Amino acid sequence: MNCLKIHEKLIFYLEGSLSVEDANAISLHLDDCKECSKLLQHLSDNLTYIEVEKKIQPSPYLYTRLIAKLEKAQLQELRINLNKRILQPILIFLIVICTAFAGIKLGGIYKMTSKKEIANIDAYYWDDLSQEIIENTLLNEN
Q: Does residue 119 interact with other proteins by CB under 8 A? A: no
Q: Does residue 63 interact with other proteins by CB under 8 A? A: yes
Interface with other proteins by CB under 8 A: which range of 23-31, 44-52, 78-86, 98-106?
44-52
DSSP states of 24-83: HHHHHHHHH-HHHHHHHHHHHHHHHHHHHHHTPPPPTTHHHHHHHHHHHHHHHHHHHHHI
Q: Does residue 43 interact with other proteins by CB under 8 A? A: yes
Q: Which class for 23: exposed (0-12), middle (13-18), buried (19 or more C-beta within 10 A)? A: middle
Q: Does residue 66 interact with other proteins by CB under 8 A? A: yes
Angle subtended by helix axes 20-32 and 34-54, to nearest 10: 120
Nearer to other proteins, 53 or 127 (CB): 53
User: How many positions of this chain bind other proteins (CB under 8 A)?
Assistant: 27
Cα atoms in the 13 Å half-sphere on the side-chain side of 22: 15
As a whole number of angstroms, the distance between CA 40 and CA 31 comes to 12
As a whole number of angstroms, the distance between CA 109 and CA 119 comes to 21
Q: Does residue 78 interact with other proteins by CB under 8 A? A: no
Nearer to other proteins, 8 or 127 (CB): 8
Nearer to other proteins, 1 or 12 (CB): 12
Q: Does residue 56 interact with other proteins by CB under 8 A? A: yes
Q: In angstroms, what is the minimal distance from the CB of 37 to other proteins? A: 12
Q: Which residues bind other proteins (CB under 8 A)?
A: 7-8, 10-12, 38-39, 42-43, 45-47, 49-50, 53-54, 56-59, 62-63, 65-66, 69-70, 73
